[in-house]
Structure 1
Amino acid sequence: MKKILLLSDTHSYIDDQILKFVKLADEVWHAGDIGNLKVTDSIKALKPLRAVYGNIDDAVARSEFPLDNRFVLEDVDVWITHIGGYPNRYQQRIREELKTNPPKIFIAGHSHILKVQYDKKLNLLHLNPGAAGNHGFHKIRTMLRFSLEKGDIKDLEIIELATRG
């Protein structure tokens, strides 16, 4: 079993509140718009990190992290990207691959809107953890955590952090 902390859209912001949850996870996944790499460096100092770059990330972040990160963990096929869309409205860049080879979990950030949706057509769980950072229109900073075990997703929780700003 692996305990996962999923966050996105930190926009160069990391604090003790986020790091408290990092310490409780086995792995941390970041769905892009990292901003300053001090964010990912702080996470990597504590736990293994899987991340992608987002549209605000510079060349340094883009050289360290991919646009898409697809992997299998605990027999669960996972795909993380920053701008991915939602069920029935996936981004054109990834739409065909999702249809022909859907993962069990599809993760996107970008919108700053926390959303957990099951896509019945593609038989996948779509996750957007919202925004953990202080930059953007969102009022509450959010993340998700869950466990993966032998092909199953368990114990999905929404984490609400302090209000933005």
Structure 2
Amino acid sequence: MFRIGIISDTHNHLDARLPQLFQGVDHILHGGDVGLPWLIAELERIAPVTAVLGNTDSGIRLKETEAVQLAGKKFLVHHIVEARNLSEALQRRMDEEQPDVVVFGHTHRPCCATQGQTLYLNPGYAGKPRFNLPRSVAILSCDDGHLAARFIDL
């Protein structure tokens, strides 16, 4: 089984429990609003990381969109995604990549929904507590081609 830690909207805050929660994951996908480069370096101590730029990120060199193949599935990572109203540029990239999974952030709300053949996964907000929003991450398990997402409250 291949396990992927999914995190977003850390806003330069790394929960102290994260290394334990993500222990044993094979890869980490970060949906943007990372903060500063130190946070990616800390996540890389757990597993390889693919991360994207969020709308509040500055001082960090990341792309707006990343595509990565993991466990035989194609993942597209982009910060702001409205599945029913994709921007023209993102729609082109979706058409090019034909991802099995889209990982995103921005809303600070966990989401796991399928549209067509694509799973859209937002792990929720993992930054410092604010706005009374729940804080969470997710683990996506890929077992023999089947995907299963599990949200973990922080």
TM-score (norm 2): 0.90
More helix by share: 1
Aligned position for 2:26: 26
What are the Cα deviations for residues 83-124 of structure 1, in whole angstroms up to 9, with x where unaligned?
Answer: 1222x122332123324652110111111111111002xx10
Aligned counterpart, 2:121? 127
Of 59, 82, 85 in structure 2, the residue corresponding to residue 85 of structure 1 is 82
Moved over 4 A (4+): none
Are the counterparts in 1 of residues 108 and 133 from structure 2 also a CA contact under 8 Å?
no
| In 1: Cα distance, 2:134 partner to 2:74 partner | 29
Preserved contact between residue 15 and residue 127 of structure 2 (Cα < 8 Å): no
Amino acid at match of 1:24: G
Kindly indicate which of the two structures has a greater share of residues assigned to strand: 1
CA contact (8 A) 1:9 1:31 kept: yes
Distance 1:96 1:138 in 2: 36
Q: How many residues align?
A: 154
Aligned residue identity for 2:16: D
2:48 corresponding residue in structure 1:
48
Tell me what 2:147 maps to.
153
Identity %: 25
**1:46, 1:101 → 2: CA distance?**
27
1:107 maps to amino acid: V
Tell whether 2:90 aligns with 1:94: yes
Counterpart residue identity of residue 141, structure 2: S
Assess if the C-alpha contact under 8 Å between 2:15 and 2:126 holds in 1.
no
1:11–1:135 contact (8 Å) kept in structure 2: no
Q: Which 5+ residue runs of structure 2 have no aligned equivalent?
A: none
CA distance in 2, matches of 1:37, 1:45: 13
Matched position secondary structure for 2:17: helix
The alignment status of 1:71 with 2:64, answered yes or no, reads no
Measured on the aligned residues, the alpha-carbon RMSD in Å equals 1.8
